[in-house]
Structure 1
Amino acid sequence: MLAVFRKTCTKARAALAGVSMMALAACDPSLVTNALPGGGAAGQSVDPGEAVPVALLLPTSDSNGGPVARSMENAVRLAVADLAGKASIDLRVYDTEGSAAVAGQKAQAAVDAGAKIIIGPLFAEAANAAGRAVADDDVVVLALSNNASIAGGNVFVMSTTFENTANRLMSYAARQGKSSAVILHQKNLGGEVGRNAFTAAASRNGMSIVDTVSYDFNPAAATAAGTRANAAMQSTGADTLLITAEAAGSLGLVAGTLDASAGQSIGLTNWDNSQVLSLPSLQGGWFATPDRGRLNTFESRYSARYGSPAHPLSPAAYDAMAAVGTLLAGGRRDALTTRALTRSNGFEGAAGIFRLRSGGTVERGLAVARVANGSMVVIDPAPRSFGGS
C-alpha cells in the first residue's frame, strides 16, 4: 500500500525488494485523478471462440521493480496454464522499464496490435498513464497497484487497498462490541491515507474516532507517539487503538512505548512478521490477512513450477488473469467489459475470493488474525463467498 517512509520514487521502488505491500503507492501525492473521468461501461467485445490477445505490462528491465515483475509474469503464466481447455489466451508481454511515459506508449502499442485488455502496470504512475493512453480505445486496464486514487473508469487496481483492509477490521471490531478508537499514524501520505481509511470504515460500522495522534518519522518522535497514544486512550476512554505503521517502517518504534493493557490494538498493515509478532505491546492485537490455506496452495504450486518462492505481490497478477479467463470461459462476448468484470459473486483467487467494484477497486475476502504469544492465530476466517451475491 502507501509507503510509510517519505521517499523519492526510486527509493519507493527499491522497497519492493523488501516485499512491503505499501510500496506500490504513487510517489507523487498529486496523483489523484481517475484514469477515465465519469462512469459507465468500458471494455472490448471479443470472440471467445478465438484466442484473445491479452497484454501484460511490467517493469521487467527496471533494476528495482524487475524481480517482482518476473514473479508476476510467472504468476500470470501459471494462471494461463490453469485455463487450458477453458479459455484461449494470447499473452503478450511488454516492458514498461519502470517509466510512466513508457508505460503509456507500450499500452497504446499493445492495443494497436490488437490487445483486448491490459494487465498491469505495477507502479501507480505507470498504471495511471496506461489507463489514460487507452481510455479512448475503450480498453480496460487491470493495474497491479493498490493505489485507489488511480481507480475508476477503465482502470481497476488489483492489489489490496487500505479501504478494503480497514473495512474488514472495523466490521469485526464492531461485532466484538468495540465502539470508540484513537488513530495513531505517521505524518506522511501513507499515514494520512491510512487514517482516512480507518475513519471512513469506523463511521460505516458505527464506531467513533475520538482522537488522533500523528508523528514525524524519526526515532524520538515515533517513540514519543506511543506514549502520547497511551495518554489519548486513557483521557478519552477509547477501547481501541488503530495503528497505520508497517513492520518495515515505524511500527517497532511506536510499539516500544505502547501500553498493551490500554485497549485493543488493531493494525492496518500485515503483522505476520516474526519481529512484529514478538513485540510485547502488540500481543493480543488484531490485523487482516489473506486466506492462508489458499495462499499456501498457490505458493506451493508456484514453487513447484518455477523452482523459487513466489513474490508476495504476485497473487494479484494471477488473480487478474484468472478473472479474465473465468469470464472468457463462460463464452461471453462482453467478458472483458467493466459490466462483466464487476459481477457480484466475484472470483476465486490465489489468496481467496475477490471481486471488482464499480469504482475500480478490489474487495478481497480477508481473515482477521490475532497476535498470540509470538504467533499468528486466525480468529475470524476469510469468507468463502460474498454475502448477498
Structure 2
Amino acid sequence: MLSLIRTARKALSRIATVGALMLAAACVPAGQPSGGGGSPSRSGAVKVALLVPGGSGNASDQVLADSLVNAANLAIADLSGVSIELKVYQTGANPGQAQAMALRAADEGAEIILGPVFAQESNAAGVAMASRGINVLAFSNNPDIAGGNVFVLGPTFDNTARRLAGYAVRTGKTRIMIVHERNTVGDLGKAAIQRGVAAAGGSVVAVSSYEFSQAGIASAAPGIVKTARDTGANAMFLTADTAGALPLLSQLLLENGATPATTRFIGLTRWDVLPQTLGLPGVQGGWFALPDPNLYAQFQSRYQAAFGQPPHPIAGLAYDGIAAIGALARQGRDLSAGALTQSAGFVGVSGIFRLRTDGTNDRGLAVAEIRNNQVVVIDPAPRSFSGAGL
C-alpha cells in the first residue's frame, strides 16, 4: 500500500515495489543485434553498491535483503565480457542509515547505487549522491522520489494504466469509467488512469469513488453501476487491489448488474497476486496487466535451482539493475543519465524495460483476462519498444 509522507524533497511513501520483474541481461541500441557492434567493453570492473534493508531487526526485511543479493549475484554470473564488483551495504530499512551507507559506498569507489528498497531510504540516498554525481537505481515504485539522479525500477501506476488503456481503446472499449477508493492510493490511481486514457485517445465518461471500508463499498456499489449505465461506459477501470477492496467490490458490482458483457472490468493492480482471487465470480472476464509470465517463470526456476527457494516477489529488480549496468558496460558506455535512459531500453527477468528521463520507467507488460478461474494472456508483452505503444 502506498502512504505518502512529506519530506524536505518530495512526498514519499515507504513502499516496496511488488510484482514481477525481468530476465536476460542484454540491452541494445535500437536496431543493433545483441551480439555484435557498438563500442568495446570497458576495461576494469564496474563498482556497484547494492543497498538492501538487512539489519533492521525485521525478519521480512532480512528475507528481502538476502533475496535481492542472490538475484544480483545471479545476474552477475549471467554476464559475459563484463566484470562487476558488487559490494553490499545494509540500510536497516532506515533513511538515515541508507544515506550513511550511500556515502560510505561512494567513498569506497562506487560508480552507481543499486537500491535501496523503500522510498524514504531511496530519497535519502539520492540526496546524498546528487553532489557526488552518482545515480541511484532504487527498488521503489513511487514516482514521487523519481527524478534528478534517482531512477525507480519498480512498476508504476502510469505504466500499467497506459498499457491497459491502450489495449482497451484499440479493442473498442473507448468509454471508460474510473472507480477508485477515497484515499491516497486511490487518488493516485485515478490520476494515472486519467492520463492513460487520454494518451490512448479514449474518454473518461465518469468517475466514481467509495469510502475505503466494507460499509462504504456496499453503500456505493449500486450508484456506481447506475452511473455506468447512465453514461454508456463500456469499461470500468478499478484501482482496488486483491488484498483490499477488490473481492467485495467486484462481487457487489456483479450483483448490481455490471457484467463483462456490458461493462468490462479493468484492474490497475495485479489480480493474480493472491491465488484465491482468481476464483471470485466478480473478476471473471476482468483484465489486468502483468510482466511476461513465461520469462518470469524462467527466472523463478533458475533462482530456485541456484538457491533452493523461490525469489522474493521483487528480487528480480536487483537482477534488472545489474542487467542494465552490465549491458552499458559491455557497450563501453558510462553510467550517466543519458546512457541509462537510452530509448532501446534493457531486457530483464520478465521482459523489456527502460528508464525515462523523469526517473520513472516503462515496462513491457502483457494484458491478461481471468477466464474460468485461470489467467489467460490476451495480448502478449512486447519484445521491443519499437512501436510498443507504451
Mapped pair 1:200 → 2:195: yes
Show the 5 A alignment for 1:20-39.
20-21=18-19
Point out the more displaced range, 364-373 or 68-77. Answer: 68-77
**C-alpha distance in structure 1 between counterparts of 2:380 and 2:239, whole Å:** 22
Q: Which amino acid letter does the alignment assign opposite residue 352 of structure 1?
A: G
Match of 1:382? 381
Contact 1:267 1:285 in 2 (8 A): yes
| Aligned mate of 2:212, from 212, 217, 220 | 217
Match of 1:41? none
Report the Cα offset of residue 179 of structure 1: 1.5
Match of 2:66? 70
Higher relative contact order (CA 8 A, sep 6+): 2
Q: Which ranges of structure 2 fall in alignment gaps of 5 or more residues?
A: 6-12, 21-40
**C-alpha distance in structure 1 between counterparts of 2:42 and 2:168, whole Å:** 44
Match of 1:58? 52
Match of 1:267? 267
**C-alpha distance in structure 2 between counterparts of 1:342 and 1:375, whole Å:** 36
Match of 2:344? 345
RMSD between aligned alpha carbons?
2.0
**C-alpha distance in structure 2 between counterparts of 1:368 and 1:154, whole Å:** 31
Contact 1:170 1:205 in 2 (8 A): yes
Report the identity percentage. Answer: 46
**C-alpha distance in structure 2 between counterparts of 1:6 and 1:21, whole Å:** 20
**C-alpha distance in structure 1 between counterparts of 2:150 and 2:189, whole Å:** 22
Contact 1:146 1:161 in 2 (8 A): yes
Contact 1:182 1:229 in 2 (8 A): no
Q: 1:356 to 1:222 in 2, by over 3 A?
A: same
Q: 1:6 to 1:364 in 2, by over 3 A?
A: closer
Q: Which ranges of structure 1 fall in alignment gaps of 5 or more residues?
A: 23-46
Match of 2:237? 242
Show the 5 A alignment for 1:226-375.
226-259=221-254, 260-261=258-259, 262-272=262-272, 273-332=274-333, 334=334, 336-375=335-374
Match of 2:97? 102
**C-alpha distance in structure 2 between counterparts of 1:48 and 1:109, whole Å:** 25
**C-alpha distance in structure 2 between counterparts of 1:121 and 1:306, whole Å:** 22
Show the 5 A alignment for 1:96-135.
96-135=91-130
Contact 2:247 2:282 in 1 (8 A): no
Could you report, residue by residue, the CA deviation over 1:334-360 in whole angstroms, capped at 9, with x for unpaired residues?
2x1111111111111101111111111
Q: Which amino acid letter does the alignment assign opposite residue 266 of structure 1?
A: I
**C-alpha distance in structure 1 between counterparts of 2:222 and 2:55, whole Å:** 45
Mapped pair 1:152 → 2:147: yes
Number of residue equivalences:
353
Could you report, residue by residue, the CA deviation over 1:89-147 in whole angstroms, capped at 9, with x for unpaired residues?
11011111011111111111111111000000000011011001110100000000000
**C-alpha distance in structure 1 between counterparts of 2:180 and 2:51, whole Å:** 34
Could you report, residue by residue, the CA deviation over 1:164-211 in whole angstroms, capped at 9, with x for unpaired residues?
000000000010011111111111111111110000001111111122
Mapped pair 1:170 → 2:169: no
Q: Return the TM-score normalized by structure 1.
A: 0.87
